[in-house]
Structure 1
């Protein structure tokens, strides 16, 4: 399966630092992409609120909620992909195997949804 950003170099910088202060370090292009996606999702949520306020048909509201959840899952998958390709690989190469437990917990959180 090819990544959405294969050859796009959106996550060219390491996504996470290795210091005690956990921070992401995405390229400006990657951040812009993620923020753009989140802005669209924010608009979808406002749209759902508007549908409810206008007493829209329940099935229509549920369909919009489903689309919004899928969009959020897409953002999460992109972040997880970058995290695994950069941060996790780097930490394993440094001998930090605890990162695998951290990733497993993160995946379990995503799968609960």
Structure 2
């Protein structure tokens, strides 16, 4: 017997922009902490851990941007400029990998 499923609502461009901005602001705060840690002579381990957190936050923001572009390309919505080709999307995605 099959269980009915509820469709997951599609995220809007505004939702994606909010996610990206939140991640970038988090990364900005983390980067400020890294700079302060280096300036104060903090332990190498602590600096590297904070730097990894910045890197992860930036990567996640980038992946959100790319995945949003992919959804727009597949659905035929979105971009104000010329639509991206599959090759362009792949190249853009791989710049984050």
TM-score under structure 1 length normalisation: 0.65
Provide the aligned length of Structure 1 versus Structure 2. Answer: 87
Match of 2:8 in 1: 7
CA deviation vs aligned residue, 1:29-78 (integer Å, no higher than 9, x gap): 33222212211110000000000011000111011111111111111111
TM-score under structure 2 length normalisation: 0.74
Q: What runs of 5+ residues in structure 1 fail to find an aligned partner? A: 1-5, 13-25
Larger radius of gyration: 2
Question: Aligned with 1:7: secondary structure?
Answer: coil
Aligned-partner Cα distance in 1 for 2:9–2:23? 16
Match of 2:68 in 1: 82
**Structure number with higher relative contact order (C-alpha < 8 Å, ≥ 6 residues apart):** 2
Label 1:89 to 1:99 Cα distance change in 2 as closer, same or farther (>3 A).
Answer: farther
Match of 1:46 in 2: 32
Q: What runs of 5+ residues in structure 2 fail to find an aligned partner? A: 1-6
